[in-house]
Structure 1
Amino acid sequence: MSSSLPAMRALKQNCLGPVELLAQGIALISPTMTAALIIPVMYSNTGDWSWLSYALGTIMLLFVAFSLNQFASRSASSGSMYGYIRKGLGMSAGGIGGWSLIWAYIGISIAGATGFAIFAGKLLAMIGIPLPTVLLFAICVGISGYCAWKNVAVSAKVMLIFEGVSMVLIGLLCLIALKMHGFTVDPAQVNTAKIPFSSLGLGVVVAIFSLVGFESATAFGDEARNPLKSIPRAVWLSLVISGAFFVFVTYVMVQTTHGYKTTLDQIDAPLNVMAQLVHMPFLQAPLSACAMISFFALNLSCLNAGGRVIYSMGRQGLFHQSTAESHAKNETPHVAVLVMGAISFLAPAICILRGMAPLDVFNDAGTLAAFGFLVPYILIAIAAPVYLKSIGQMKPGHIALAAVSLVLLTIPTVGSVYPVPPAPVKYFPYLFLAYLIIGAAWITLRHRTIATNPRFAADMMGSRQDA
C-alpha cells in the first residue's frame, strides 16, 4: 500500500435533508426488528416491566447523544464518530473507534440480511414457493448494495418509506389491541411491588442494544444540508422516536399476550400472534412483508453508514487508497460499499452453509455487533470535554455530562459479560477483543507510515466546521 494518498473525489454534497438523515438513524435502529424479534428476549429478562427497561435505556443513551452532539453541532464530515473521536483523543483513539464501528455496522448489516431472509421465507412459505436462504441473502444485499452504490438520497427515501410503513402498521395493530382491552391500564405492568430489580440491569442491556445506531446520521456530514443543525437533530430525534415506539409496543404486546397458551418469551413471531389474538389473522402476511422490507432497510442503512466510515478511514491512509474514492458519476463511496456488501453476504452465507439456523445467525450477529457500538460510545463520552477544552468552550456541565454517560455505559458493558452467558455468547467478548487488538496494531503501524504525509495532514482538517 502506498503511503501517498491519491487525488480523491469527494462525496455528493448537500443532497440529504433533515428527513433523510432522520430516516437513516431510525432505519439503523430498526424499530420493526425489535418489535418482530427482540421484545420476547426482553420479556425473558424483565417480564411485565419490560417497557421500563426500554424507557431507562432510551434515557441512558440520550446522555451519550448529548455528548455526541457536542461534536455534531460544531463540526461535520464523513465518517461518523470516527472523526469526532479523532478530534478529541487523537488519531490512534479515532482509528480504534472507527475500527470498532466497522465491526458494529457489519454485524448489524448481517442481522438485517438474516432478518430479511427469515421473514421472506415466512412469506414464501405462505404461497408454497420456498427459496434457499443463501439466495435470499443475495437478493437482499444485492439490491441494497445497488441502492447504496447508486444514490444516497434515493437510499434514504427508500429506508424512510419502508420503515415508516412498517411502524405505522405495527402501531395500528397495537391500537387495535388496546381497543380490545378498553384502553385500560394493565395492572401487572404498573405493579411496583413486582419490579424485577435483580434483572432490570439485563433488561437495560437488551434495550440499549436495541437502540444502537442512533448516531448513524453523523456519518453523512459531507452530504448533509446544513449539517451542524440537521445532524444533531436527527441524532436525538431518532433515539427519542424509536425509544418511545419500543415502550409503547412492548407495553401493548405484553398486555395482549397475557393468558396466551405460550408465554411471550417463547413466541418467535409475536406480531403474527398479536394479529391472531385481535382476530385479524389476515394481517399476518402484511406484517411479515413489513418486517422483511424493514430488515432490507436495516441492511441498506448499514452499507451506507459503514461504507462512509471505511471511506473516511481510507482518506486517512488506514485502508487501501481505493476505499477513499467516490464514484465518478454517483459520488458515493462505491468501493467501501462493495466491501461492506461482500462481507454482509458472505459471512451469513457461510454460516448457513455450515448448518447454522438463520435465527441463530441473527442473534449472534446482533450480539457481536453490540460490542462494536459500546467502544465508540465510551470514547465519545471521554473525547467530548477534551475537544471542548481544546477550543476553549468547555464548561463544568460538560464534564458532568461525560461522567454520567460513562457511569451509565458501564451497565451494558458489565452486563454483556456478567453474569457469564452460556456458550457461544460467553466467547464473544474475547473474539471482539482480539479484533480490537488486531485493529490497534494495524492502526499504529499505518500511522507511523503516514504521519508525515502532507495530504494526510490536510485531510485531517477537511471537516465542515462552523464559524
Structure 2
Amino acid sequence: MPELLDETRPGYGLRRHVLGPWETLAQSVSAIAPTATPAMTIPLVFALAGNATWLVYLTATTALVLVGLVIGCFGRRSASPGSLFSYVSQSLPPWVAGIAGWALLLAYIATASSVAAGFFNFANVLLHAALGLSAPPVLLMTVAVVLAGFMAWRDIKLSAEMMLWMEGASVTCIVLILAVVAYRHGLHLDWPQLHLAGATGSGFRLGLVLALFSFVGFESATALGEEAREPLRTIPRAVLQCAIGCGAFFILCIYAEVLGYRDMGQPLDQAAAPLHVLAVHAKVGLLGTLVDIGAMISMFACVLACITAASRVLMLMSHHGLAHRALSRTHAKNETPHWAVLVTALATLVPAVVLALRGVSADNIYGWMGSLATYGFITVYALVCIALPVHLGRQQKRGKDKLTPGIVVLSAAGVLAMLLALAGTLYPVPAAPYNWLPYLYLGYLLLGLGWQTLKGSGLRAQSSGG
C-alpha cells in the first residue's frame, strides 16, 4: 500500500471537508470555462487546422489525460491547498519548487485576466442586443473581478455551488443547439472532417497549442485540498473526469460546428458568435441568445475559479516563505485565505484594465493573457510529471511505496507531450507581441527566483519532508 501523505491539517485555517464530489468537479470545470471554447477558441483553431480540428482536440485531450493520470497518482497520496506546487515541493529541489509555485500562480492569474476580457466582450454583445448600448470595458471587467473576488472571500461552498450551476446551464444550452444542428443535417458522416481534407502538419501543430489552452486549469480541483470531502479520492477523480469529459464535449462541438457551417457559405473562423449564428440558422435563435448569456456566465465562473485556486497557491507559498506572512492567514469567520484572495483579485484586474485603457481589444487581451498563462501551465505540468517518479523512487527506498515501470513511462510521456507543446509556441516564431511573451515569462520567473534567494531557505526547510 502506498503511504498516504495527506497534508491536510487545521493549521491552514480553511474550512475542512465542506465540498462534495460535484462541487469539487465544478472547480476544475469552471477553470476550463468550457463554454468559451466553442464560442471563441474552436474558430481560432479551425483557422489553422481546418478539417483536422477534431483530431487536434483529440490529441490535446490525450496529452492532458496523461498529465491527469500523473496528477492522480500524487492526488491519491497527498491533499494540500497548494495544488501542483505542493506536489513538486515534495520531490524536487527548492529552486525548482519555487519555479513551480510562481509559474502556477501566474498561470491562474493570467487566465483570470484573459477571461475577464471575454466576460466584457459577451456582456457588451448582450447589452447592445438588448438596449443598443455598450459599457466601458474597464467597468465591466472591474465588476466581474470584484464580484468574483468577493465570492471567493466570502464562502468556498457558495462559490463552488455557483460555479456548478453556471457551467451546467451554459453547457446545456450548447448541447441543445448542437442537437438541433445534427438533427437538421440528418444522420450521416461528415467525410471531409473524417478524411482531414486540406489539413496540413504545420496547421495541426499550431492549432494544438491553442487547443491546449482550452484545457488549462483542469487540475485546479487539487488546490482545494482539505476543503474537499475525502480529498484523496474525490480530487484525483475530478481532475480525470474534467479532462475526459471536457475533451469529449469539445470534440462533439467541433464536429457539429464545422458540419453546421459547411452549408452556410460563411467560414467558421470568420464568425464572431458561431453558436448564435448556428442557432439562428437552425431556427432556434432564442437558444443562441441563451448561449451568449451562458458564455458570459462561464467567463465569470472561470474568473471565480482561477481566483479561488490562485489564492490557495499563494497561501501555501506564504507558508513556505515565498510570500509575505500575512498571505498565509485565513478569515476567522469565512475560513478563506482573505488576504491572498485580495492580492490575486488585484493582480487579475490590473493587467486587464491597463491593456483596455491602452485601447487593446477584448480578443487581444484574451489571446495575449491566455498565451502567457499557457507557458505557466506547461511548465508546472512538466515538473509534476518529473516529480512523480522522483518522489516514488525515494519512497520505495524507505519501503513506503513502489515505483513501477508503468509510472516511469506515463511520466515520460507527459513530459514529452508538454515539451512538444512548448516547442509549438516557440517555432515558427509568432508575430508580435506573441514573440515577446516567452521573454516576459522568463523575466517573471527570474524575479520570482531572485525573491526566493533573498528570502533564504524557508522553502528548503518545509519541503524536505516529502
> TM-score category by the smaller chain?
over 0.9
Q: What is the distance in 2 between the residues matched to 1:379 and 1:216?
A: 16
Structure 1 78/9 Cα, relative in aligned 2: closer, same or farther at 3 Å?
Answer: closer
Letter in 1 for 2:410: L
Structure 2 counterpart SS, 1:76: coil
Contact 2:181–2:256 (CA under 8 A) maintained in structure 1? yes
Structure 1 235/138 Cα, relative in aligned 2: closer, same or farther at 3 Å?
Answer: same
Contact 1:316–1:460 (CA under 8 A) maintained in structure 2? no
Structure 1 120/192 Cα, relative in aligned 2: closer, same or farther at 3 Å?
Answer: closer
5 Å-filtered alignment, 1:237-252, equals 237-252=241-256
- Cross-structure match for 1:302: 306
Structure 1 192/303 Cα, relative in aligned 2: closer, same or farther at 3 Å?
Answer: closer
Deviates more, 1:355-364 or 1:331-340: 355-364
The answer to whether residue 19 in structure 2 is matched with residue 16 in structure 1 is yes
The answer to whether residue 443 in structure 2 is matched with residue 441 in structure 1 is no
**What's the % identity of the aligned pairs?**
38
Post-superposition CA distance 1:339-386 (Å, at most 9, x none): 111122222111111111122111111111101101111101110000
Shift of 1:239: 0.6
Shift of 1:147: 0.7
Shift of 1:398: 1.3
- Cross-structure match for 2:218: 214
Letter in 2 for 1:397: G
Letter in 2 for 1:421: P
The answer to whether residue 366 in structure 2 is matched with residue 357 in structure 1 is no
- Cross-structure match for 1:223: 227
The answer to whether residue 90 in structure 2 is matched with residue 81 in structure 1 is no
Shift of 1:282: 2.6
Shift of 1:195: 4.6
Structure 2 counterpart SS, 1:423: coil
Count, aligned residues: 451
Deviates more, 1:152-161 or 1:435-444: 435-444
Deviates more, 1:279-288 or 1:251-260: 279-288
Match of 2:180 among 173, 176, 182: 176
- Cross-structure match for 1:429: 438
Post-superposition CA distance 1:172-199 (Å, at most 9, x none): 1000000010021111111156553342
Structure 2 counterpart SS, 1:47: helix
Structure 1 51/327 Cα, relative in aligned 2: closer, same or farther at 3 Å?
Answer: same
Post-superposition CA distance 1:18-74 (Å, at most 9, x none): 111111101111110111100111101110120111011100111111111121110
Structure 1 451/300 Cα, relative in aligned 2: closer, same or farther at 3 Å?
Answer: closer
- Cross-structure match for 1:382: 386
The answer to whether residue 169 in structure 2 is matched with residue 145 in structure 1 is no
Shift of 1:335: 0.6
Structure 1 299/192 Cα, relative in aligned 2: closer, same or farther at 3 Å?
Answer: closer
- Cross-structure match for 2:270: 266
Structure 1: unaligned runs, 5 residues or longer: 1-6
Q: TM-score, normalised by structure 1?
A: 0.93
Post-superposition CA distance 1:284-317 (Å, at most 9, x none): 3211111111100000000000000000001111
- Cross-structure match for 2:332: 328
Letter in 2 for 1:372: G
Letter in 2 for 1:342: L
Structure 1 counterpart SS, 2:186: coil
RMSD between aligned residues: 1.7
Structure 1 counterpart SS, 2:214: helix
Q: What is the distance in 2 between the residues matched to 1:23 and 1:279?
A: 32
- Cross-structure match for 2:420: 411
Q: What is the distance in 2 between the residues matched to 1:97 and 1:186?
A: 43
Structure 2: unaligned runs, 5 residues or longer: 1-9, 397-401
Letter in 1 for 2:425: S
Structure 1 101/9 Cα, relative in aligned 2: closer, same or farther at 3 Å?
Answer: closer
Structure 1 386/418 Cα, relative in aligned 2: closer, same or farther at 3 Å?
Answer: same
Q: TM-score, normalised by structure 2?
A: 0.94
Letter in 1 for 2:163: M
Shift of 1:92: 2.1
Shift of 1:444: 2.6
Structure 1 192/354 Cα, relative in aligned 2: closer, same or farther at 3 Å?
Answer: closer
Shift of 1:403: 1.3
Structure 1 195/451 Cα, relative in aligned 2: closer, same or farther at 3 Å?
Answer: closer
Match of 1:33 among 9, 33, 36: 36
Structure 1 counterpart SS, 2:90: helix
Letter in 2 for 1:297: A
Contact 1:15–1:225 (CA under 8 A) maintained in structure 2? yes
Contact 2:173–2:287 (CA under 8 A) maintained in structure 1? no
- Cross-structure match for 1:67: 70
